[in-house]
Amino acid sequence: MDMRSRVNTALKQAMRDKATTRLSTLRLICAAIKDQEIAARGEGKEGGVGDAEVLAILSKMAKQRQESARAYEEGGRLDLAERELQEIAIIEEFLPKQLDPDQVAAAVRKAVESTGAESIRDMGKVMAELKGRYTGQMDFGKVGPLVKERLCAG
């Protein structure tokens, strides 16, 4: 079952269960996917949004909510922070399991070797390789410095 079907099935179940927080979060996911489809059509791309794009959308949504939750906690709005954390939990149900730091390091090492990267100029190739294989499984904001370090040291 593709990602979009999984989200739609979960949306229907949330409607039946009358789970309001889950329902609103799943509706936001569906809206984001629909926006991406409309943007793709505007660029002349046909065939809809694939699983890779849906994973990228979900990763972005989770990251936005993590930043919001942190801001709410700093501002003393624990009720809003809690809601953001609930939404993150729902979004993460559709994301693949996150890699642990050792697995991330191994993936970076493998990507550097497979692309033949030798200097910092090749960082884009390595990041593209990682994004192609591990979308939704690692935080690329944290992976970038690891790749940079590996290329500068190697």
Angle at 114 between CA 125 and CA 119, to 5 degrees: 50
pLDDT digits (tens, 9 = 90+) for 33-90: 999 988 888 887 776 778 888 888 998 999 899 999 999 999 999 999 999 999 999 9
Non-local (6+) Cβ contacts of 130 within 8 A are 107, 108, 111, 138, 140, 143, 147
Domain containing residue 126: CATH number: 1.10.10.410
CA distance 71 to 43: 35
Non-local (6+) Cβ contacts of 116 within 8 A are 122
Sign of the CA dihedral with 19 first, then 24, 27, and 29 last: negative
129 and 54 share one domain: no
pTM: 0.72
110 and 78 share one domain: no
Answer whether residue 154 shows pLDDT above 80. no
27 Cα distance to chain centroid:
17
Count structural domains, the chain: 2
Q: How many CA atoms lie within 13 A of 129 on its CB side?
A: 17
pLDDT digits (tens, 9 = 90+) for 113-151: 888 888 888 888 889 888 888 877 888 888 888 888 888
Domain containing residue 48: CATH number: 1.10.1510.10
Structure tokens at 78: 């624990």
Q: Which domain covers residue 105, as residue numbers? A: 101-153
* Helices and strands (DSSP H and E) totals, the chain: 7, 0
Structure tokens at 100: 């642990």
